[in-house]
Amino acid sequence: MNPATATILLELARKRLQAAQARHANLLRTLEQARAHGEMLRRYAAEYDVRSLPRAGDARDPSAERNQRAFLGRLQLAVASQEQELETRKHAVQHASEDVAQCERKLSILETLMTRRAEAERLRNGRREQNHMDELAQRAFERRLAASGGYPASAIGES
């Protein structure tokens, strides 16, 4: 993989992670809203239930009593529906958390790969430079040796 492609892949992985984190944060907000709404409904249902209890000496109209029971039943359905909504949102948050974790793993893998490739390239360049320096030193040595009479100049490739 060439460096330009790797950089593009790394940038895409970062963008995917940011999008997954934003989605997760948004789902957490909606989860908290659903939780707060459910708590409000439960409190209201409990208060209404207490207020609807007959008090000593109260004469209650049968139709008003039926209406209260019907309203309390609808309120309990709303509480149950909100609890189901809360569970749905919890699952969505869980999936978003898993998505964030997966994006983080992918980004980490790409970063590690890029780091390893850069290190390998640095080592290759170091070896290449060392070989070049060794070759220059060897030539200089051979020239000095030839100049001092140790080797004939034609034996070292100089004419």
Give residue-wise pLDDT tens across range 60-98.
788 888 888 898 899 999 999 999 999 999 999 999 999
CA atoms within 13 A on the CB side of 120: 7
Report domain extents, the chain: 3-54+61-150
CATH 1.20.1260.10 assigned to domain 3-54+61-150? The reply is: no
φ/ψ bin of 60: left (φ > 0), alpha (ψ from -120 to 50), beta (otherwise): beta
Give residue-wise pLDDT tens across range 29-62.
999 999 999 999 999 988 888 877 766 666 678 8
The distance between the two most distant Cα atoms of the chain, rounded to a whole number of Å, is: 132
Q: What percent of the chain has pLDDT over 70?
A: 90
Q: What angle do helix axes 62-147 and 3-51 make, rounded to 10 degrees? A: 160
What's the pLDDT at 52? 76
Cα–Cα distance between 90 and 84 in angstroms, integer? 10
